[in-house]
Amino acid sequence: MKAELLDFKIESNEEISTQFLKREIFTFRDAAKFIQNLDYGRNTDKTDLKKIFTENRGTCSSKHALLKTLAVENGFYGIQLTIGIFRMNATNTPKIKNRLLKYDIDFIPEAHTYLKYRGQYFDFTRTGSSAKDFIDDLLSEVEIEPNEIGEEKIKIHQTFLNNWVKDNADMKYSAKEIWAIREECIEDLSN
């Protein structure tokens, strides 16, 4: 069964809603489609969601925080902004295969941000992305607010990594080293 996302008309005159209306985007579904089709890339300031519009790109965190904010501005509070920690591996993320081989590891616990609505998962990170890309590899989930996509997301992710390294005595890397390898993987994804 295909997940059915909430839809509504964008009628708020608040900041994010206005950005969509200026672009003649009038419904939440059309806004989600617009966001999904934008390039993937870090914004110069991830705490300023309007940067997505001026830089025509965003990450999983900024894109989904923007959509959550749009929903709240229009009085829809049932959509959850969620961080899931998943096993990022060569199967679900082929662009990092060589990096994982270089360091001789099967996967890295990666934080991914997405939306949940009525128990269903929605991923608008890239054109063609969906929850099928990560759901079978989920290790942990935490609901957050849009203003927590910066430092709080990093803290959640690093706490998970620290615990994961402690719980895996055979891990040959420290949490700090895993974080550095992860950054290399993110670079691979951006290229």
The total domain count for the chain is 2
d(CA 73, CA 17) in angstroms, rounded, equals 7
| Same domain for 104 and 44 | no
pLDDT of residue 4: 67
Residue 53 lies in a domain: yes
The verdict on 183 and 102 lying in the same domain is yes
Q: Whole domain around residue 39: which residue ranges? A: 15-73
Count other C-beta atoms under 10 Å from residue 101's C-beta.
Answer: 10
Answer yes or no: is pLDDT of 1 > 50: no
pTM assigned to the model: 0.91
Residues 118 and 24 in one domain: no
- Is the same domain home to 101 and 181? yes
- Same domain, yes or no: 64 and 112: no
Q: 4 lies in a domain?
A: no
* 134-149: pLDDT as tens digits: 999 999 999 999 999 9
Per-residue pLDDT tens digits for 39-57: 988 899 988 999 999 999 9
Which of 38-42, 103-107, 187-191 is most confident?
103-107
Nearest-CA neighbor of 112 among 98, 99, 89?
89
pLDDT digits (tens, 9 = 90+) for 57-73: 999 999 999 999 999 99
Quote the radius of gyration of the chain (alpha carbons, Å): 17
Q: Tell me: do 102 and 118 sit in the same domain.
A: yes
Mean residue pLDDT of the chain comes to: 93
